[in-house]
């Protein structure tokens, strides 16, 4: 009915051990205590923050058991925790004289060196010691070495060290979970593909290896191969949530939205409802122009994450694409209420108001966008176009100069100024700005022609445009 530990606990409760230890300290003890008893006393004092008593127990225990590695390791650990690094290293030096193959001592010395900010020394020490160990102990040292390289910001060596671990133990979960990230971080995705192809060939049922292979292909934008790898992964483990998530993303990149929705639905069946899953489903339906279903899933996401302004913006976008301007404004406004410093939301509201012929209100939104993002060209273009449509030509010219002051000289501004000047009857000056725009960026000519398609019916305008198109 009881395991060995429970029986030991009955025979030697900690109170009895502490009483016997007190007799030893007082010089009244009869008989010796076991090495394990000293370890329990040391750990009891240490866990209850009685560091002085714990160290005393270490020293007394060491006199009775001078070759006890476990007592010396405990002493070094206590000294490390109390930041007595020099004494900790001396204790480990003493231990190393007769026990150089103690894994706990090796890892503890590395911890001491890290605590002293001697990162490179710790890395070199672990690298050397790893050659003296085999099997699980060697793997544990290599994993510790990878963490030390992280402290050193020696990221390529992290990746190399994790590969060493996988060479020794292809299914090591910690190494498999980390190696994919570091392959991407160090731009070694091609190498990661080769590594994980080998791992999957040697062990076709390694779900993490298939997952990492998919992630490597996905990082290389080879989405079809990523899909294949993820499908192997979920075939082996049909409850691997992250694999479904990445598989859905790969399908979306391939614009295979039906497949993505099927995978996302499977994710919902095996995992907890998450805002990112509902949001992805909304995105898929939006891409398929089923805006009603897109809103349904976006709203599901919003229920789980009501402070996420982006979701409300996306709902507004679906309404805008249906020209339901009032409903779009309502969603955009909710997004803006949650994130009052977002110029994009101001622009979106302004665009809806322009469609509703509420020009003055729209201009206020554009002005707010400019205030929030004065260095962003898009905000100025919206404002100046709004002023043009409102026939506030003098103000448009004023804002164009302010825009150039914030964003520099852009072809976009020359095209808009040409349009404004034509409307003001200043044709000669307008043609100069039009020519500046054409010579800088012919592709942005549509900014000019969209404002008034009749501009190109003017002979002088048409001739100038024709001249640059021939060039």
Q: Are 367 and 383 in contact (CB under 8 A)?
A: yes
Interatomic CA distance for residues 335 and 138, integer angstroms: 53
The top-scoring range by mean pLDDT among 7-16, 49-58, 130-139 is: 130-139
Give the mean model confidence (pLDDT) for residues 170-180: 96
Q: Domain for residue 271, yes or no?
A: no
Q: What pLDDT is stored for residue 4 in this prediction?
A: 45
Whether 23 shows a pLDDT value over 80: the answer reads: no
Cβ–Cβ < 8 Å for 185, 157: no
Residue 459 lies in a domain: no
In this prediction, residue 8 has a pLDDT band, given cuts at 50, 70 and 90, of very low
What's residue 310's pLDDT?
A: 97
195-134-177 Cα angle (round to 5):
35
Instruction: Please work out, in degrees rounded to the nearest 5, the angle formed at the alpha carbon of residue 280 by the alpha carbons of 328 and 208.
Output: 165
Does residue 183 lie in a domain region? no
Give 75's pLDDT tier (boundaries 50, 70, 90).
confident
Among the listed ranges 77-81, 212-216, 395-399, 405-409, which one has the minimum average pLDDT value? Answer: 77-81
More confident site: 208 or 131: 208
Predicted local confidence at residue 27, as pLDDT: 67
**39, part of any domain:** yes
382 half-sphere exposure, CB direction, 13 A CA radius: 30
Domain extent for 88: 1-116
54 vs 147, higher pLDDT: 147
User: Which tens digits make up the pLDDT trace of 385-398?
Assistant: 999 999 999 999 99
Q: According to the model, what pLDDT value does residue 66 have?
A: 75
Q: Is residue 266 part of a domain?
A: no
**What per-residue confidence (pLDDT) applies to 9?**
44
CATH number, residue 101: 1.25.40.10
Q: Which of 16-25, 32-41, 53-62 has the lowest mean pLDDT?
A: 16-25
* Average pLDDT of the segment spanning 441-449: 93
What pLDDT shows up at residue 2?
A: 35
CA dist., res. 380 & res. 149, Å (int): 48
Over 90: is that where the pLDDT of 186 sits?
Answer: yes
Does 20 fall in a domain? yes
Mean pLDDT of all residues in the chain? 90
pLDDT bucket at 20, cuts 50 / 70 / 90: low
Residue-wise pLDDT for 308-356, tens only, equals 999 999 999 999 999 999 999 999 999 999 999 999 999 999 999 999 9
Mean pLDDT of 213-228: 97
Of 21-30, 101-110, 188-197, the poorest mean pLDDT is in 21-30
pLDDT of residue 13: 75
Instruction: Report, as an integer, the average pLDDT of 437-442.
Output: 93
Q: Check residues 98 and 442 and name the one with the higher pLDDT.
A: 442
pLDDT at 389: 95
- By percentage, how much of the chain surpasses pLDDT 70? 93
Span 295-305, mean pLDDT? 97
Q: If you average pLDDT over residues 455-471, what whole number do you get?
A: 91
Q: In this structure, is residue 272 part of a structural domain?
A: no
| pLDDT tens track for 360-375 | 999 999 999 999 999 9
In this predicted model, which residue has the larger pLDDT, 69 or 20? 69
The pLDDT tens digits for 193-219 are 999 999 999 999 999 999 999 999 999
| Mean pLDDT on 38-61 | 75
Residue 11 has pLDDT above 70, yes or no: no
173 in a structural domain? no
The number of domains in the chain is 1
- 57 confidence band (pLDDT: 50, 70, 90): confident
């Amino acid at each position: 009915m009881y395991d060995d530990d429970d029986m030991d606990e009955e025979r030697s409760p900690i109170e009895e051990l502490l009483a016997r230890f007190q007799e030893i300290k007082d010089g009244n003890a009869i008989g010796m205590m076991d090495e394990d008893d000293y370890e329990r006393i040391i750990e009891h004092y240490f866990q209850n923050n009685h560091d002085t008593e714990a160290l005393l127990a270490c020293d007394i225990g060491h006199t009775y058991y001078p070759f006890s590695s476990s007592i010396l390791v405990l002493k070094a650990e206590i000294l490390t925790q109390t930041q007595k690094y020099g004494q900790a290293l001396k204790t480990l030096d003493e231990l190393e004289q007769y026990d150089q193959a103690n894994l706990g001592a090796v890892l503890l010395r590395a911890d001491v060196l890290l605590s002293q900010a001697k990162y490179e020394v710790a890395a070199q020490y672990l690298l050397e010691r790893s050659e003296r160990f085999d099997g699980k102990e060697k793997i544990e040292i290599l994993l510790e070495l990878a963490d030390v390289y992280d402290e050193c910001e020696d990221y390529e060596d992290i990746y190399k060290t994790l590969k060493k671990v996988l060479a020794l133990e292809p299914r090591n979960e910690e190494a498999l979970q980390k190696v994919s990230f570091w392959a991407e971080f160090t731009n070694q995705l091609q190498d990661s593909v080769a590594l994980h192809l080998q791992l999957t060939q040697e062990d076709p049922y390694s779900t993490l290896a298939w997952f990492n292979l998919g992630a490597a292909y996905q990082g290389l934008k080879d989405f079809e191969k990523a899909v294949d790898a993820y499908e192997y992964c979920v075939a082996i483990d049909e409850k691997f949530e992250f694999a479904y998530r990445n598989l859905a993303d790969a399908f979306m990149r391939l614009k295979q939205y039906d497949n993505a929705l099927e995978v996302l639905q499977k994710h919902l069946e095996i995992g907890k409802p998450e805002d990112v899953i509902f949001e992805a489903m909304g995105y898929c339906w939006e891409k398929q122009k089923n805006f009603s279903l897109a809103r349904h899933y976006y709203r599901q996401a919003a229920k789980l994450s009501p402070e996420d302004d982006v979701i409300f913006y996306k709902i507004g976008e679906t309404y805008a694409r249906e020209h339901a301007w009032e409903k779009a404004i309502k969603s955009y406004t909710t997004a803006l209420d949650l994130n009052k410093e977002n110029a994009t939301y101001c622009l979106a509201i302004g665009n809806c108001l322009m469609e509703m012929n509420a020009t003055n209100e729209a201009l206020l939104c554009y002005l707010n966008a400019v205030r929030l993002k004065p260095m962003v060209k898009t905000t100025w273009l919206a404002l100046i176009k709004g002023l043009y449509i409102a026939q506030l030509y003098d103000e448009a010219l004023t804002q164009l100069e302010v825009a150039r002051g914030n964003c520099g000289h852009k072809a976009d501004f020359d095209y808009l100024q040409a349009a404004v000047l034509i409307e003001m009857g200043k044709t000669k000056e307008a043609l100069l700005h039009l020519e500046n725009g054409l010579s800088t960026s012919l592709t942005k000519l549509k900014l000019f022609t969209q404002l008034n398609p009749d501009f190109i019916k003017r002979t002088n305008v048409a001739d100038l445009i024709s001249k640059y198109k021939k060039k």
